[in-house]
């Protein structure tokens, strides 16, 4: 059974905030730094993981945008990787 992990980056003039599965993972000065951290976190779930963020929402009036990516990990791989972290 697959497990999904949701990665969100919301950006405005104050920075780029990364959220993974609803939990804050940091604020970054550049979009590329936020995406790099997301890729690192995804690799902890699945070592060969690659994320592709897509623009989901943009409000030009406030210079605000949201990008999202979903990582699907099979339950077996997720369980195997959780033992590595112990």
Q: How many domains does the chain have?
A: 1
pLDDT of 34 above 60: yes
3-class SS at 5? strand
pLDDT of 83 above 70: no
- What domain range includes position 74? 2-85
The answer to whether the beta carbons of residues 30 and 16 sit under 8 Å apart is yes
Give the pLDDT of residue 2.
58
What is the band of 41 on the pLDDT scale with cuts at 50, 70, 90?
Answer: very high
**What are the structure tokens assigned to 10, written together?**
């919301």
CA-to-CA separations, 39 to 44, 61, 62, 63, in angstroms, rounded: 9, 30, 27, 24
Instruction: Report pTM.
Output: 0.74
């Amino acid at each position: 059974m697959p497990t999904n992990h949701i990665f969100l980056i919301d950006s405005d003039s104050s920075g780029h905030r990364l959220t993974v599965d609803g939990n804050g993972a940091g604020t970054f000065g550049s979009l590329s730094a936020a995406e790099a951290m997301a890729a690192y976190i995804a690799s902890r779930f699945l070592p060969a993981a690659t994320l592709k963020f897509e623009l989901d929402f943009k409000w030009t009036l406030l210079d605000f945008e949201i990008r999202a990516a979903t990582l699907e990990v099979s339950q077996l791989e997720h369980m195997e990787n959780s033992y590595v972290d112990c």
